[in-house]
């Protein structure tokens, strides 16, 4: 199973996983298309980087219950929004709303984030730092 999460830059490897619901599928598409691009540019500046990456892997994992995946994709899609409650361009404040949304999702669903998801998140952050 660990091989599924080896390359965080290859979201297409998980194309077989689909939530089925239009609204959640839209969030899933946004996250698949933009997560690593945005995450790679801001990971060193956000205190919840490891949690966001772990949530990403949890959302992609077909073993994660659909409702959990839907909430994770929703929280991650909010993180990707260029304009949200507090735009990310404001230094010091820009990611506070993103952190609040992510913290709420993680507090509700933390039991579904496995050690494998966390290991994959740490490995992804290490690869991003090595660039």
Residue at 59 is within a domain: yes
Higher pLDDT, 86 or 102: 102
CA 36, CA 56: separation in Å to the nearest integer? 10
Residue at 8 is within a domain: no
Residues 86-94: contacts with CB within 8 Å, 24+ apart? 88/42
Number of domains in the chain: 1
CA dihedral angle for residue 98, residue 82, residue 86, residue 71, rounded to 10 degrees: -30
Residue at 37 is within a domain: yes
Angle between the N-to-C axes of helices 49-60 and 66-80, in degrees from 0 to 180, rounded to the nearest 10: 140
Residue at 33 is within a domain: yes
Query: At 106, is the pLDDT very low, low, confident or very high (cuts 50, 70, 90)?
Result: confident
Whole-number pLDDT of residue 20: 52
Residue at 64 is within a domain: yes
Per-residue pLDDT tens over the stretch 48-73: 889 889 999 999 999 999 999 998 89
CA 78, CA 80: separation in Å to the nearest integer? 5
pTM of the model: 0.70
Whole-number pLDDT of residue 126: 92
Q: Which domain holds residue 51?
A: 18-130
Average pLDDT of every residue of the chain: 75
CB atoms within 10 A of CB 68: 19
Whole-number pLDDT of residue 122: 94
């Amino acid at each position: 199973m660990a091989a599924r999460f080896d390359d965080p830059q290859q979201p297409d490897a998980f194309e077989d996983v689909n939530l089925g619901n239009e609204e959640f599928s839209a969030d899933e598409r946004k996250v698949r298309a933009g997560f690593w691009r945005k995450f790679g540019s801001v990971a060193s500046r956000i205190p919840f980087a490891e949690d966001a990456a772990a949530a990403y892997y949890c959302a992609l994992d077909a073993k994660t219950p659909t409702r959990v995946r839907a909430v994770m994709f929703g929280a991650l899609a909010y993180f990707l929004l260029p304009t949200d409650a507090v735009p990310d361009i404001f230094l010091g404040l820009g990611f506070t709303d993103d952190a609040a949304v992510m913290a709420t999702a993680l507090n509700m669903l933390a039991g579904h984030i496995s050690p494998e998801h966390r290991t994959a998140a740490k490995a992804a952050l290490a690869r991003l730092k090595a660039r």
